[in-house]
Amino acid sequence: MNVSNLSDSTLDPCSDPLAPLSATFFKNISASEKGLIAICGVCVLLTVIVYLEHIHYVLNRYQTNMTVKCRTLEILALYPTVSLTALAALCVPRSVIYCHLINAIYIAVSVCSFSSLMVLYFGGSKKLSWRLKGEEVATRQPPCCCCCLCLPNLAAAVRNVRLMKALVLQTAIVHFLLTFVTLVLLSDHKFTPGQFTLDNAYPYLNAVALISSLLALFGQHVFFKLCKDLLKPDYLVAKYLALQLVIVCCQLQDGVFTILARFDLPVCVGILTTAVRGNEMLQMLLVFEMFLLSLLARWLYHRPQDITSELSCEHKQTQATVSGHYVMDKIEAASSANNVTSQLPMETVTHSYL
């Protein structure tokens, strides 16, 4: 057999762009790596168990309507979803792109659900606008408009609230369409992750996804700034940060490993290329991080404030209204009594005191 006819990927396994099959992958990793994968499996199982506990707690302890319960569970499902897809990408290296697309779609759905949950806490968009009447928020907010000093402040009107919700909602639609386009181009070998060339669709689709994500985060951040002061008892700031940490773990770490791969880090070992080894480390990190974040979410969402969260704003207003009406009724009753007493004859009044 002529060696010169062999492909470069056969001569140099580190240059093979195709990830190995799962059976080949497990044959070429060390015993310590197999042990870490087993630990990752246990962490994924614990993350799923924590989510099942969330389901039981929300459905049985939250005294709210079903819409609030569903939105809460949609947000909490983000942690087991990312954890399960990370484990799948870890055990089956060729499934990385599909798992990444699933994560991108569900992160977009979770961002939309969180914005909807904030509105539901107030009882709807109209009640939110009424509660925030006269309030304004600066539109010079991260991640894309923090340096635009010429942007005006935004009033908390129904139209503006719906505009911010639309900015958040578009990312779920855009990511779904991008996933479809990616799968089509992937089947035609015109999409190679991490390769920045003119004939590769990866940089173009990645740019569209980045712009969509930045707009969604901008809309959610403006919306969050409007609501956070009135929803302090519901730990809204901590819940918002817990959601942002998932986005940072998935998006930022993926970008870091993509940059490291261009410098051949981590080093190729046998048939395990730099991309495969980098993916292995990334997925392990995601599994451990999602387990810790699921415990943080358990601490945040298993609280009495959440049981009547969407009614808390209305309840305070209702109490104030009822108290005001009660005082006004007392004043009117006293005034009526004085008027009646002043209209009685002097003899009747004197007789009543005697």
pLDDT, tens only, 160-185: 888 888 888 898 899 889 989 998 99
Number of domains within the chain: 1
Res. 270 pLDDT band, cuts 50 70 90: confident
Checking if the pLDDT of 350 tops 80, the result is: no
Q: What is the pLDDT of residue 197?
A: 84
Q: Does the residue 170 lie in any domain? A: yes
Residue type, 298: R
- Is the residue at 108 inside a domain? yes
**Does 63 reside within a domain?**
yes
Residues spanned by the domain of 126: 29-319
pLDDT digits (tens, 9 = 90+) for 51-110: 999 999 999 988 888 998 999 999 999 999 999 999 999 999 999 999 999 998 999 999
Q: Which of 11, 218, 261 is nearest to 115 (CA)?
A: 218
User: 350 or 111: which carries more pLDDT confidence?
Assistant: 111
Per-residue pLDDT band for 338 (boundaries 50, 70, 90) equals low
Q: 150: how many CB neighbours lie within 10 A of its CB?
A: 5
Summarised one tens digit per residue, pLDDT across range 98-141 is: 999 999 899 999 989 998 888 888 887 778 778 877 777 778 87
What count of Cα atoms within 13 Å lies in the side-chain half-sphere of residue 39? 11
Q: What does the pLDDT read at residue 335?
A: 53
Nearest one of 140, 139, 85 to 107, comparing CA atoms: 85
| Section 193-208 average pLDDT | 86
Residue 333 resides in a domain? no
Amino acid occupying residue 24: T
- Mapped onto helix, strand or coil, the DSSP state of residue 63 is coil
- pLDDT (tens digit, 9 = 90+) per residue, 219-255? 888 888 877 777 766 678 889 899 989 988 988 898 8
Token reading at 60: 């049985």
Q: Residue 11: pLDDT above 70?
A: no
Answer whether residue 7 shows pLDDT above 70.
no
Cα separation, 151 vs 141, in Å, equals: 10
Q: What is the CATH number of the domain that holds 273?
A: 1.20.1070
15 domain-assigned: no
34 assigned to some structural domain: yes
The mean of the pLDDT values for the chain is 80
**Quick check: helix, strand or coil at residue 29?**
coil
Task: Tell me, yes or no, whether 235 lies in a domain.
Answer: yes
Say what the pLDDT of residue 282 is.
Answer: 94
Report yes or no on 326 lying in a domain: no
Q: Which pLDDT value is given to residue 304?
A: 58
Find all residues with CB under 8 Å of 213, minimum gap 6, and list them.
108, 171, 247, 251
Q: Which stretches within the chain are classed as H helix? A: 8-11, 22-28, 31-61, 66-76, 78-91, 96-122, 125-131, 158-187, 202-227, 236-247, 253-262, 274-301, 309-343, 346-353
Residue 285 pLDDT exceeds 70:
yes
The predicted structure's pLDDT at residue 147 = 72
Torsional sign, CA 232, 234, 238, 242: negative
Tens of pLDDT, residues 20-53:
899 999 999 999 999 999 999 999 999 999 999 9
DSSP structural state of residue 306: G
Rounded distance, CA 294 to CA 299, Å?
Answer: 9
